[in-house]
Amino acid sequence: MVVPTPGPWVPVRDLSLLNAGRYYTRELFLTDGGAYDNMGLEPVWERYETVLVSDAGAPYQPIPRLDTDWLHQMHAAFEIATDQARGVRKRWLVDQYQRGALQGAYWGINTELESYELADAVRYDVIKSRSLAGMRTRLDAFKLAEQNDLIDWGYVLADIAIRRWCAGLCSNPQRPVTLPGSGTPAP
């Protein structure tokens, strides 16, 4: 992979992807959402009345033993700052839902299904869901079984969150979701 040498820094005012001009249209770099806005809220929060958020970002994990060298300290500080930024965005989003400024639903990879208090919630293996919440989030290849498990867990979370908070979006809220990773209806 060839990484171009950056040119001189130029301040840009009021930059968004819609008016980015040449800044975001000449080269494309692959990255995950964590590069700026993990939940993808900024492009939509003022344009849409209904916002559905799937947060697959790794939940913050306390570090049992922190190395004291500068590289590990810098990484720990980055992880804390990233987690705090995600927390602020999530609290803002939930507040918008509660005040009625936005409609929608939020679900995170570490969501506990029971917290939605939905009587006909899809059942899913709790141990497997916790394992998926702790899975690496790097841009490396996932095994097919890992992909299928992540896809199924995403569908389970989306199903329960949308049926709990936005049932009007569902054409048939009583129909069990089909899990595409395994290709079977949820148990």
pLDDT recorded at residue 27: 57
Q: What is the model's pLDDT at position 2? A: 45
Between 120 and 24, residue with greater pLDDT: 120
User: Largest Cα–Cα distance of the chain, in whole Å?
Assistant: 57
Q: Which residues of 95-118 are buried (b: 16+ CB within 10 A; e: fewer)?
A: ebbeeeebbbbbbbbbbebeebeb
Q: pLDDT tens, 103-143? A: 999 998 888 888 888 888 777 777 888 888 777 766 667 88
DSSP the chain: ---PPP------SS--TTS-GGGTTS------GGGT-TT--TTTTTT-SEEEEEE-SPPP---SS---SHHHHHHHHHHHHHHHHHHHHHHHHHHHHHHTSSEEEEEETT--GGGG--TTPPP--HHHHHHHHTS--SSSPPPHHHHHHHHHHHHHHHHHHHHHH-GGG-S-TTSPPEETTTTEE--
Task: Name the pTM for this structure.
Answer: 0.70
Which comes out higher in pLDDT, residue 44 or 71?
A: 71
Per-residue pLDDT, 32: 52
State the average pLDDT for the chain.
76
pLDDT at 141: 78
More confident residue, 92 or 179: 92
Per residue in 134-185, pLDDT tens?
777 666 678 888 888 888 888 888 888 988 898 888 877 777 677 887 755 5
